[in-house]
Amino acid sequence: MPRPRKRDYETLRRELIDAGGRLLAEEGPAALSTRRVAQATGTSTTAVYNLFGDKAGLVREMFLEGFDRLTAAFAAVPRTGDPAADLLALGDAYRANARDNPHLYELMFGRPVPEFRPDAEAGRRIQPTFDALIAACARCVEAGAFAPAEPYAIAVQLNAMAHGLASLELRGALGDVEEADAHWKRAYASLFKGLA
Give 103-139 pLDDT, tens digit per residue.
999 999 999 999 999 999 999 999 999 999 999 999 9
Nearest C-alpha neighbor of 17 from the set 119, 107, 94: 107
Q: How far is it, in rounded angstroms, from Cα 170 to Cα 77?
A: 22
CA 68 to chain centre: 8
pLDDT in tens, 38-94: 999 999 999 999 999 999 999 999 999 999 999 999 999 999 999 999 999 999 999
**Domain annotation for the chain: domains and CATH numbers:** 1-53 (1.10.10.60), 62-195 (1.10.357.10)
| Distance (Å, whole) CA 168 – CA 126 | 23
